C-alpha cells in the first residue's frame, strides 16, 4: 500500500476528536478487502480546504503483468464525468455563445422535432425525455461494450427515436443521451474537440494534470488500470472499448478529482455566479424542483449538505463527494465491478461526519382488511408509463407485493408500499413519492393472461422497429414467448397481464387493431420506454 499523508494540514476539530493516525487505521480497515495483490483494487484521496490529507491505492492495476495500483494510477470515472460536461456547457453560456434555455435543435437540427421543445437545460437536468441510447442499442442487439460506439453513433440512435420517455420538463429520468448531446454541442459551438476544450478551460486551470477524456479507446494511456468484471467463478477484463464520451469516459485519478472539487467549490471556475448555476437544483416546467443539478446530485449525509455523484463504466467504479460545510472532498476510484463506491464512500465519510443520534421512526403496521375486500384488490397492475407489471397478492388478510413485502398503513390510514404511497382506485392505483422529486404514477388494473400453447401462437411472427433498427422473431413456447434475435440465445418473456410479457431485462405489451388482431408491440428496457415494433 502506498500512502501519502500531509499532517501539516490536519483539521483542528479532527485532531481534537481523535488521533488522525487512528482515522487512517480505520480507513485502511475499510479498504482491506481490496488489498490483495492478485485482485483488482481501489484508490482513494481525501482533501480539506483544498489541501490533500490522504491518498492511497491498493490491489492490482494489471493482473496479467503484475502491476500494482498506486496513487498515480489512472482509472475511468463513469458518470462522475457528467459534472465536467455540464461545466463546459455553462462556461460557453458565460462566454455568451449559447443559452441553456434555447431549443437543443438550434445546435443539433438533425434531432426530431417533437411536440414539445427540448432545451439544453432539460439535457443538463435529465428531464428531456430522450431515451438512453445505450438502452435502445441493447434492444438492437449491440449493448454498451459490444460495439465501439462513438458520439456519432449515439447521435444516430437518438435521432431515430420517434417518441420520448416523457414530455420535456415534466419528469426526471436519467439518460446518458443528454450528456452525449451536450458534448456534441460544445464541439459545434466552440469549434474544437470536446477534449481540447475541457483541457484548456477546466483541467489545466484546476491543476488536473492526470486527467483526459477517453475519446479514442485505442489511445495508449500510461499508468491506466485495467478494469475487471467480477463473476461467480473468475475475473474477466471489462474495458470500455468505445469512444462515446461526455456521459462518461473521464480518465483521471482520485487526487485530480479532489483538486477539481476544491477548485469548483471555491468558485474558481468562472466565479461564484457559475458555481451557483452548477449547484442549483433542476426545475420542472411546473416550478417543482428535483435534486439533480449540473451533473451533480444535491443531498444530505448525517445531517450535512452533500454534493455527490457516482459512476460505473464497464468494470470501473467511481464516487466523488464534497461536503461544503466541512470543505471536505472524498474521491474513490476502482477497477473492479465487484466494488460498491457509494457504500465505501459512506463508511469513510462517517469517520469525519459521524451519524446524529436521532430517534428512529416506529415501523408502520401491516394493512389488514376482511379477506373479501383484500381479494378485490388482488391482481395485475400495469405502469401507465412503462407498461411494467406488478402483481399484488391477497393472503392472510394482507396484500403482498413482489419481494414478499406487505402493504403498510399509516396513522392517517394512508397505504404505503416499498417506500411509496399507494391509493387504490376503481380501475387501478396511484403510486406517489413525496420526493424530492415529487412524482405520481398511475397503474391500471389489467386482466390476467390466461394462455395455453395454442393461444400463445397468436403472438408469433416477425416484428420490425425503425427506432431500434432491427428485426426480431417471436416464437411461442409451452408457457412463454421466446424473443429471438440471431445469433443471440432466445430471451424468455413470461406472461403477466393480458397481452403483457416480461423478462429480467424488458417488458413487452402487445397492441391490437380495431379487429382485435395484433399489429405490434411496445418494449421497455432500462431507460428507454415503449420502443415500437411493427408486425411484418
Picking from 79, 55, 83, the residue whose alpha carbon sits closest to that of residue 69 is: 55
Tell me how many domains the chain contains.
Answer: 3
Picking from 255, 179, 244, the residue whose alpha carbon sits closest to that of residue 213 is: 244
* Partners of residue 445 on adjacent β-strands: 381
Distance CA 425, CA 515 (A): 29
Asked if residue 63 belongs to a domain, the reply is no
Q: What is the pLDDT of residue 194?
A: 98
Q: Residues 459, 518: contact at Cβ < 8 Å? A: yes
Residues 209 and 324 in one domain: yes
Residue with cell 472532498: 329
Residues 441 and 459 in one domain: no
CATH of the domain at 526: 2.40.128.50
CATH of the domain at 134: 3.40.710.10
* Partners of residue 417 on adjacent β-strands: 420
Picking from 473, 444, 301, the residue whose alpha carbon sits closest to that of residue 383 is: 444
Domain boundary (323, 352, 381) is at 352
DSSP state of 105: G
Q: Residues 18, 27: contact at Cβ < 8 Å? A: no
Q: What is the pLDDT of residue 381?
A: 97
Peptide bond into 437 cis (omega under 30): yes
Domain boundary (352, 381, 403) is at 352
Residues 205 and 338 in one domain: yes
Asked if residue 191 belongs to a domain, the reply is yes
**pLDDT tens profile 32-70:** 999 999 999 999 999 999 999 999 999 999 999 999 999
Picking from 258, 215, 260, the residue whose alpha carbon sits closest to that of residue 240 is: 215
Picking from 277, 225, 214, 226, the residue whose alpha carbon sits closest to that of residue 254 is: 225
Residues 462 and 408 in one domain: no
Residues 436 and 461 in one domain: no
CA angle 204, 205, 210 (to 5 degrees): 35
Residues 273 and 401 in one domain: no
3 φ, ψ (degrees, to nearest 5): -130, 135
Residues 186 and 335 in one domain: yes
Residues 312 and 386 in one domain: no
Domain boundary (446, 472, 507) is at 446
Picking from 131, 173, 143, the residue whose alpha carbon sits closest to that of residue 522 is: 131
Residues 439 and 483 in one domain: no
Asked if residue 26 belongs to a domain, the reply is no
DSSP state of 494: E
Distance CA 181, CA 103 (A): 12
Asked if residue 5 belongs to a domain, the reply is no
User: Which parts of the chain register pLDDT below 70?
Assistant: 1-19
- Which CA distances in Å does 2 have to 5, 9, 41, 70, 349? 10, 19, 13, 6, 21
Residues 290 and 310 in one domain: yes
**What is this structure's pTM?**
0.93
Distance CA 500, CA 419 (A): 26
Peptide bond into 293 cis (omega under 30): no
Residues 233 and 120 in one domain: yes
Domain assignment of residue 158, given as a range:
76-352
CA angle 190, 191, 195 (to 5 degrees): 75
Asked if residue 301 belongs to a domain, the reply is yes
DSSP H or E stretch at residue 483: strand 481-484
Residues 101 and 201 in one domain: yes
The x, y and z cell numbers of residue 18, run together, are 481523535
Asked if residue 51 belongs to a domain, the reply is no
Dihedral sign for Cα 126, 132, 133, 134, please: positive
Peptide bond into 487 cis (omega under 30): yes
Asked if residue 149 belongs to a domain, the reply is yes
Asked if residue 55 belongs to a domain, the reply is no
Q: What is the pLDDT of residue 19?
A: 59
Amino acid at each position: 500500500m502506498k500512502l501519502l499523508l500531509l499532517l501539516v494540514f490536519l483539521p483542528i476539530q479532527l485532531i481534537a476528536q481523535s488521533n488522525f493516525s487512528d482515522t487512517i487505521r480505520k480507513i485502511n480497515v475499510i479498504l482491506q478487502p481490496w488489498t490483495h495483490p492478485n485482485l483488482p483494487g481501489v484508490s482513494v484521496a481525501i482533501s480539506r480546504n483544498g489541501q490533500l490529507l490522504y491518498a492511497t491505492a491498493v490491489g492490482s492495476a494489471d493482473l496479467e503483468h503484475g502491476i500494482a495500483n498506486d496513487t498515480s494510477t489512472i482509472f475511468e470515472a463513469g458518470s462522475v464525468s457528467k459534472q465536467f460536461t455540464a461545466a463546459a456547457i455553462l462556461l460557453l453560456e458565460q462566454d455568451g455563445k449559447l443559452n441553456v434555455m434555447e431549443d437543443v435543435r438550434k445546435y443539433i437540427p438533425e434531432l426530431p422535432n417533437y411536440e414539445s421543445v427540448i432545451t439544453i437545460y432539460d439535457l443538463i437536468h435529465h428531464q428531456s425525455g430522450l431515451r438512453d441510447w445505450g438502452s435502445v442499442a441493447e434492444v438492437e442487439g449491440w449493448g454498451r461494450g459490444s460495439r465501439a460506439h462513438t458520439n456519432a453513433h449515439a447521435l444516430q440512435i437518438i435521432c431515430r427515436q420517434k417518441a420520448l420517455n416523457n414530455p420535456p420538463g415534466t419528469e426526471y429520468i436519467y439518460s446518458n443521451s443528454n450528456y452525449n448531446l451536450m458534448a456534441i454541442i460544445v464541439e459545434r459551438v466552440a469549434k474544437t474537440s470536446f477534449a481540447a476544450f475541457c483541457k484548456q478551460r477546466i483541467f489545466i486551470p484546476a491543476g488536473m494534470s492526470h486527467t483526459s477524456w477517453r475519446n479514442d479507446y485505442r489511445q495508449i494511456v500510461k499508468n491506466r488500470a485495467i478494469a475487471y468484471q467480477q463473476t461467480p467463478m473468475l475475473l474477466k477484463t471489462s474495458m470500455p472499448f468505445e469512444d462515446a464520451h461526455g456521459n462518461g469516459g473521464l480518465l483521471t485519478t482520485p487526487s485530480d478529482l479532489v483538486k477539481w472539487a476544491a477548485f469548483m467549490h471555491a468558485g474558481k471556475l468562472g466565479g461564484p455566479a457559475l458555481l451557483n448555476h452548477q449547484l442549483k437544483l433542476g426545475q420542472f416546467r411546473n416550478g417543482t424542483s428535483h435534486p439533480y443539478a449540473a451533473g451533480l446530485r444535491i443531498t444530505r449525509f448525517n445531517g450535512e449538505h452533500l454534493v455527490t455523484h457516482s459512476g460505473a463504466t464497464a468494470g470501473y467504479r467511481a464516487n466523488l463527494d464534497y461536503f461544503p460545510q466541512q470543505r471536505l472532498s472524498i474521491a474513490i476510484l476502482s477497477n473492479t465491478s465487484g466494488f460498491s463506491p457509494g457504500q465505501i464512500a459512506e463508511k469513510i465519510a462517517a469517520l469525519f461526519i459521524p451519524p446524529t443520534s436521532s430517534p428512529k421512526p416506529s415501523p408502520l403496521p401491516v394493512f389488514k382488511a376482511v379477506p373479501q375486500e383484500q381479494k378485490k384488490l388482488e391482481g395485475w397492475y400495469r405502469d401507465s408509463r412503462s407498461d411494467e407489471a406488478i402483481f399484488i397478492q391477497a393472503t392472510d388478510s394482507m396484500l403482498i407485493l413482489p419481494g414478499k413485502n406487505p402493504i403498510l398503513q399509516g396513522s392517517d390510514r394512508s397505504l404505503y408500499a416499498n417506500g411509496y404511497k399507494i391509493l387504490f382506485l376503481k380501475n387501478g392505483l396511484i403510486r406517489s413519492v413525496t420526493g424530492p422529486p415529487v412524482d405520481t404514477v398511475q397503474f391500471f388494473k389489467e386482466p390476467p393472461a390466461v394462455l395455453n400453447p395454442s393461444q400463445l401462437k397468436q403472438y408469433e411472427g416477425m416484428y420490425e422497429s425503425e427506432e431500434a433498427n432491427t428485426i426480431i422473431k417471436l416464437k411461442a413456447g409451452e408457457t412463454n414467448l421466446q424473443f429471438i434475435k440471431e445469433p443471440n440465445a432466445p430471451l424468455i418473456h413470461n406472461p403477466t397481464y393480458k397481452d403483457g410479457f416480461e423478462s429480467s431485462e424488458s417488458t413487452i405489451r402487445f397492441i391490437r387493431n380495431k379487429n382485435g388482431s395484433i399489429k405490434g408491440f411496445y418494449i421497455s428496457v432500462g431507460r428507454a420506454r415503449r420502443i415500437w415494433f411493427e408486425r411484418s
